[in-house]
Amino acid sequence: MLADTLIDTPDPASAAGTSALNEPALSDRAVWLGILARSGCDLIESHLQSAPALPEFTLLRGPETGMAMVRGRIGGAGAPFNLGEITISRCSIRDATGAIGHGYATGRDLAQVELIARLDAALQNPDLHAPLTTKVLAPLAARIAARRAGIEAQAQETEVKFFTLATMRS
């Protein structure tokens, strides 16, 4: 199911292919699609200005918006249940080199999913992969990691340590 794919896609901070510095393996397609889906269209476009031009493309499936069921699990590991529906957008393209790219993101930003699809196809090209990773993916991943660290720090500040009889005895 599409929603399961969106939910189970590895996020940059917990990608399986991490280096010793705990950085995501930006060569992993699921990781770069996750980074792009978590970044807004304006932000991606601003980083693309200093990157090589993307190849021309043809639409295989034009940008469209739909709904998908989001599933949850009680306690994170319990029986699955239908949490609710979410709006998603998708697009598929074929670029001039013949690579096929897919773009999926939550929300209704059709320009974003078309840009994600174009970048997905371009990142499969060995000649464009390194410059696009350096100019686009790495800064976006760093921004996502900084945002996540800020949220985690804010949550850590609100942690309550309860003083109970169990903790008094140890």
What is the mean pLDDT for each group of 10 consecutive residues in the chain (170 residues)? 37 40 66 94 94 94 95 88 95 95 96 96 94 94 94 88 63
The amino acid present at 143, given as its one-letter code, is: R
pLDDT of the residue at 62: 93
pTM: 0.75
CA gap 37, 39 in Å, rounded: 6
pLDDT of the residue at 12: 40
pLDDT of the residue at 159: 80
pLDDT of the residue at 77: 87
**Beta-bridge partners for 132:** none
